[in-house]
Structure formats: structure tokens, C-alpha cells
Chain A
Amino acid sequence: MQAIRWAQQMRNYLIIMRREFYYMWQDRVLRYVLIIGPVLAILFFSYLYSFQNVTDIPSAVVDLDHSAQSRELIRQLSNAENLKIENYPETYKELESLIDQGIAAVGIVIPENYGQDIMSGKQTRILGIIDGSNMIYATNASSTLIQVTGMISAETGIKTMVGMGMNLQEATEAYQAIEFKEEAWYNPTLNYAYFLILALALNMWQQCCVMAAAVNIIGETGVKSWPQVKASGFSKWKFFLPKSLMHLIIFMALVLPIYYIGFVLVKLPLCCSFGSLMGFTLVFALAIHSMGTMMSSLTNNAVDSTRFGMIVALPSFILCGYTWPLESMPAVISKAAWILPQTWFFQGFNHMTFKGAEFHAMKGYYLGLLIITVVCYAVSMMATARSER
């Protein structure tokens, strides 16, 4: 008898899950948004960041000196990977015009007497103008200019010391008393693609998931068929359990092609095991589902619920500290950002994929997501029970 009842219960759950699957599948817009959206996003972003680094920043050089030394400087600047010297204006005014028009993002002005000053061991100044309206260009151009001029400055200094009678070894050691060795760990080539592609695609995925979950409860209780469920005597908790389970299955199925394209086809770094990454993603899927479900239990109609979902899901990627560090945000916002499951996920995701963080290092992230899940589901249950009164 117990077995029959259990089998009946399972059948009921499967019927509800099947209906939920067809519901999502039959809705053409939802189907395209959920399936095609995130996959297109990762394909598009992979292509977009296929050069992996910012190279060939359009640059212009004004050489007011026309000496052998200034030509050497231009040669060294031309060799820098990030800069592409395309224009050689004659005057500062011409350079200004090129930057104003957006033809050049970087301008370098070599002063008159540059070669003479170098030869006589006098200090000389090179002006570097960077178009700050593009932050990415500006940061990369700035570090390249510092690197190239630093190198020339060191060479010149050493040459001067040798000229003063010091041997080359001594001059080099004296000039470079402190050797600064820079090592970028986890992403040694500071590859933009590694850093951004998956995060952008996962951001799109999580937005789609929040939207779908945002109609979980109101999509049933707010429509005319709800009396059928209530009159059947079927527990609403048992009704929403298999429905939510199907959502989670769909969410996880949708993330698989993103991970496949990212880690297998585009070969993005994955330093942890795929199983543990999927486990962490599942906990995040649970958390965003609970958040969407909570919204769907607190609003009066599906449209409002979806709007709330969008209001939270869209800026959450900016707030999560992935693209702009949490430490650089105002204290109130950086603390409030931890209310969002996206913050726990994207921070933890970074640790896992780049650093291969083990479970003991990830415990906090799992716990954060699980607490959000419990709170959101509890609020959903209370709100739904209350609305039924």
C-alpha cells in the first residue's frame, strides 16, 4: 500500500515536472531567450575577445627633434605590442586635432634637443597624451609608455655612468640597485578573454534564470487555473516542489553548453574539477531560483514580478565586484552587494576557475549562497501562505 502511494506521488511529481518543461518549451520567446541567449552570448564574447589582449592602440608621435636618439625612441615605441603608431604629425596642434577626432588614442611628443640632452646626460621630458575617454586604452597605453620610457631611461643612465668611467657591470648594478620583478599569477598574460568571456555569458544566463524563476508562483496563483489546483486538494508546497525542481534541471542544462564552449572549445582556464564547478553552479542556481521565487510570491502579477527580477538581475553583475572591485566601492554598497547571490557566485567562481580553490576555501561562498536560498524560500512560503488567507 505504501509502495502504491509512493508510486502515485512520484507520478504526480513527474506530471507537474513534465507540464513545467512543456510550458517553458512551448513559450517560443522564453525558449529562445533561455537557450539561445546565453549560448549566443558566449560565442559572441569569445569572438569579440579573440585577440585576448588590447593591442594596436592607434597612436601618433610628434618628433620635434629629428635626431638619431628620437628615431631610436620611435622605433622602440613601435615595437611595443600595445601601440600602433599610425601618424606622425609635425606639430603639437596637429596631434591635438588627431586625438580630438579620435584618430589617435595616444600621442607622444618628443621635444627639441631630446638627443642633445640625452647625449650630455641632462634630464629630458617626453610628453605622453592619453585619451582618457576610453579607460581600457588609457590603462594599457599608460603602462606601455612607462615601460618603454623606463627602459630608455635606464639605458641612458647606464651609458652615462659608463661614459664617466664605470664598467658596464658596475653601472648596471648601481643603476638597478633594486630589481623589481613582476609576476602575474593565475592569468600570467593578463588575458582579457580569460577574465571576461565566461563571466559575461554567465551573467546573461543568470539574468535569464532569474526572469524564469520570477513567475514561479505568481505564474500559477495569478492565473485563472489556480482554483483547479486548490480544489484538487493537492498541497501547494508539493505542487511547487517538482515545478521548482524542473526549473533547476533546466537551469543546469542551460549552463552546460556555456561551460562546454568556454572550457573545451575556447580553452579558458579551469583549475578546479568540473564536478566541483557544477556543484557550486548548482548551489548558485538554487539561490537565484529562490530569489526569483521570492519575487514571484511578493508581487501581484507576473509582469511586476519580471520587472523586479530585471531590476535586481541586471545591475547585480556590476555590483558583484567582478568588473569593478568591491573594495573600491563605497562601504555601504560593497557590504550590501553580499545580499545578492551573484556576488557570492562570481567571487567564488573566480577563485575556483583561476586558483582551483578547494572546498575548504570555498565553504564561505557555499554557505552564503545557501543562507540566501533558505531566507528567500522561507519568505516565499510565508508570503504565499499569507496571500491565500
Chain B
Amino acid sequence: MDAIETNPMIRVEDLQQVISRQVVLDRINLTVERGECLGIFGTRGSGKTSLLHILAGIDRFYSGSVEVMGCKLPRQQEFKKKMGLLTQKQSLFRDLRTGENIDFIAGLKGAAKQDMEEVVEEYELQDYLKEPVSRLDAGVYQRVSLACAMLNRPELLILDEAIKDIDIYSRCLIVNKLTEFKGQGGTLLCGFSNIEFCPQMDRVGWLEDRKMSLMSPTQVQEKWERLVSDAGHKMGTANA
């Protein structure tokens, strides 16, 4: 457990991921400090989810070295006790109701009954406990997913497109809770593809052509605007 207390939160060196003989991530280097909010930005298929799943200890990687809370992946997995994950694809147990999902995942994470009651209240899920998760609206579903990720009171939260395409109320509630989490010293790793979330991050890793460049949110926004403008010009030339 001593390893968990060492800094930084995440250290990645020369990470390479190969899926179906195709290089998806190429020589990624990254360090995430405790209490930092690092965004992983990229368009669809850029490798955001692959990177986040490796850092969450879900997927194995081809080469390089990955350390999370001092645990060397893939062998050491103790860090998961202090990690929460919200996946891009809906990953709650479809055969269980909302309350049963919270109860079941709490069992897997070794969370106490009190933690369950707290997250239900914090994410305003009281009215949905008996609903099958397959019937929940996207926003409520994300609230349940985040509530489940928070059951073990994590120090590191990995989110993959947490607030994409959801209702405004759920979005505000989630952003509010994430701000609170960060305020309490939590570390956030957020995968996103919508540039408007950029200002919420401390730093952003832009994934493009299998490689990652680390930038400030302002730099990311400038680069994005430049790309949009270039694309506009190209279209204009093409139309002319």
C-alpha cells in the first residue's frame, strides 16, 4: 500500500498499444500529478478510450511502462481500490435495477452501506432505484454510473465522455460533483471529444495520429480554431 502514497499519480513511458496488428497508441509519455485534472482530447477513433482503459487497468498494453499510484501495471492492481471509472459505453449490469447495480458494484468494491446511501443522495437517485438501468435516460444513467464509480471514495477518477449528449440538469449536477471532487484533492483524467469542455481541464493531452501532445487548454482551443478555420478555407476553395 506504500506504493499508492508515492507521487505522481500516473506515470506513462513509451506506451505502445497494438490492436488487431494496428498501432493505436505510439510512444505515449505522460505524467499526471495528484489533484490535477488532465483532459485527453481527440476525435473519434483517436485512441482516447484505449489509453483510458490501459490506465484503468482494464486492458493490457503492448509495450512501455505504466505506473498508477506507484503500482506497476499490469501486475500490480492495488490502485483499483482507490480508483473510479466511468466508461464511454454503458457498462452497468443490464440485468439489474439501479439500486441492485449500486448494491452489486458496492459489493465488488468493498464499499459500505453508508457509502451507498450517500451516493444515492448525492446523485439524486432515490426515485430511480427500482428502475431497470436499460430504461433510464442518458443523463440519469450517467449519474448512476458516476455514483457507482464514486462508491469506494476514489482518489483517481477516470471518465470517458462523462457528460456527452445528456440533459442539462444531469450535466450540471455531474460537473458540480466533479468540481467538488477536485476541490477535495482528487485527480481527474477525462476523455472528451467536445472542445467546449476544454476550459474545465488543467492540462490537455491531444491525441492525433496515434501520438499525444500535452498542451494548456488555451493552446488546445487555439489549435482547434485554427483547424476549423483551415477546414473552412479548404471547403471554400473546393466550392469555388
Interface, chain A (partner B; CB < 8 A): 8, 11-12, 15-16, 19, 22-23, 26-27, 223-234, 239, 388-389
Interfacial chain B residues near A26, Cβ < 8 Å: 95
How close is A238's CB to chain B, nearest CB, in angstroms? 10
Q: Which of B19-58 contact A (CB under 8 A)?
A: 53, 56-58
* Chain B residue with the shortest CB-CB distance to A15: B107
Contact of B91 among A11, A224, A233, A234 (CB under 8 A): A224
Given A12-B108, A15-B107, decide whether A231 and B93 contact each other with a Cβ distance below 8 A: no
B100 within 8 A of A: yes
User: Within 8 Å CB of B104, what residues of A?
Assistant: 15-16, 19
Contact status of A232 and B105, CB under 8 A, knowing A19-B96, A389-B60:
yes
Chain B residue nearest in CB terms to A23: B95
Complex CA–CA separation, A26 to B56 (angstroms): 32
CB distance from A145 to the nearest CB of B (A): 61
B142 at the interface (CB under 8 A from A): no
Residue in A12, A239, A389 whose CB lies within 8 Å of B110: A12
Chain A contact residues: helix, strand, loop or mixed: helix
Question: Which residues of chain A are within 8 angstroms of B152 by Cβ–Cβ distance?
Answer: 232
Whether B81 sits at the interface, judged by CB under 8 Å, is: yes
Nearest chain A residue, comparing its CB with the CB of B81: A233
Residues of B within 8 Å of A223, CB to CB, are: 94
Query: Which residues from B are CB-within-8-Å of A226?
Result: 91
* Contact status A232-B80, CB under 8 Å: yes
Complex: A231 Cα to B149 Cα, angstroms: 9
Cβ-defined contact, A228 with B107, below 8 A: no
Residues of B within 8 A of A23 (CB): 95
**Which of B82-90, B178-186, B214-222 is the contact stretch?**
B82-90
Nearest A residue to B90, CB-CB: A224
Q: Tell whether, in the assembled complex, residue A22 and residue B56 are in contact, meaning their CB atoms are under 8 Å apart.
A: no
* Contact B58 A231, beta carbon cutoff 8 Å: yes
Q: Does B92 contact A (CB under 8 A)?
A: yes
For residue B229, CB closer than 8 A to chain A, the reply is no
Q: Does B194 contact A (CB under 8 A)?
A: no
**With A16-B107, A388-B60 given, is the CB distance from A231 to B80 under 8 Å?**
yes
Q: From B79, B84, B100, B107, name the one whose CB has the most chain A CB atoms within 10 angstroms.
A: B107
Is B103 located at the chain interface by the 8 A CB criterion? yes
Docked CA distance A234–B56 (Å): 13
Residues in chain A near residue B58, CB distance under 8 A: 227, 230-231
CA–CA, A321 and B103, complex, Å: 48
* Measured CA separation A22–B94 after assembly (Å): 12
| B residues near A8, Cβ cutoff 8 Å | 110
Report A-chain residues with C-beta under 8 Å of the C-beta of B6. Answer: none
Given A19-B96, A232-B80, A233-B77, the answer on whether A227 and B85 have CB atoms closer than 8 Å is yes
29 contacts between A and B (CB under 8 A): A11-B107, A12-B108, A12-B110, A15-B104, A15-B108, A16-B107, A19-B93, A19-B95, A19-B96, A22-B95, A22-B96, A26-B95, A27-B95, A224-B89, A224-B91, A225-B94, A227-B58, A228-B85, A228-B105, A231-B57, A231-B58, A231-B83, A232-B105, A232-B109, A233-B57, A233-B78, A233-B109, A234-B108, A389-B60
A225-B92 contact, Cβ under 8 Å, with A233-B80, A233-B109: yes
A23–B110 Cα distance when bound, in Å, is 21
Kindly state the separation between the CA atoms of A15 and B96 in the bound complex, as whole angstroms: 12
- A12-B108, A223-B94, A228-B93 given. 12 additional CB < 8 A pairs? A19-B93, A22-B95, A22-B100, A224-B87, A227-B58, A228-B108, A231-B80, A232-B108, A232-B152, A233-B80, A239-B108, A389-B60
Residues of B within 8 Å of A16, CB to CB, are 104, 107
Tell me the bound Cα distance from A231 to B89 in angstroms: 14
Does B9 reach chain A (CB closer than 8 Å)? no
Q: Is the CB of A228 within 8 A of B92?
A: yes
- In Å, the complex CA distance between A26 and B94 comes to 12
Given A233-B77, A233-B81, also A15-B91 (CB < 8 A): no
Task: Select from chain B the residue with minimum beta-carbon distance to A230.
Answer: B58
- The 9 A-B pairs of least Cβ separation, nearest first, read A233-B80, A15-B107, A232-B108, A231-B85, A234-B108, A225-B93, A230-B58, A12-B107, A232-B109
List which B123-150 residues lie within 8 A (CB) of chain A: 148
Residues of chain B with a CB closer than 8 A to A233's CB? 57, 77-81, 83, 109
What is the CB-to-nearest-CB distance from B200 to chain A, in angstroms, rounded to a whole number?
23
**Residues of chain A lying within 8 A (CB to CB) of residue B107:** 11-12, 15-16
Closest to A233 in B: B80
- Of residues A19, A23, A388, which shows the largest number of chain B Cβ atoms within 10 Å of its Cβ? A19
Closest chain-B Cβ to A91's Cβ sits at a distance in Å of 70
Q: From B78, which residue of chain A is reached at the shortest CB distance? A: A233
Chain B: CB-nearest residue to A27: B95
Contacts of B93 in A (CB 8 A): 19, 225, 228
Complex Cα spacing A22 to B77, Å: 30
Closest to A24 in B: B95
A231 to B103 CA separation, bound complex (whole angstroms):
16
Chain A residues near B77 (CB, 8 Å)? 233
Interchain CA distance A223-B92 in the complex, whole Å: 10
Bound-complex Cα distance A22 to B83 (A): 28
Residue B100 contacts which of A12, A19, A229, A232 (CB distance < 8 angstroms)? A19
What's the Cα separation between A12 and B105 when bound, in Å? 10
Residues of A within 8 A of B105 (CB): 228, 232
For A27, what are the chain B residues with a Cβ–Cβ distance below 8 Å? Answer: 95
Knowing A11-B107, A231-B57, A389-B60, say if A225 contacts B91 (CB, 8 Å): yes
Residue of B nearest to A239 (CB): B108
Residues of A within 8 A of B57 (CB): 230-231, 233
B24: min CB distance to chain A, Å: 16
Q: Which residues of B contact A11 (CB under 8 A)?
A: 107
CB closest chain-B residue, reference A11: B107
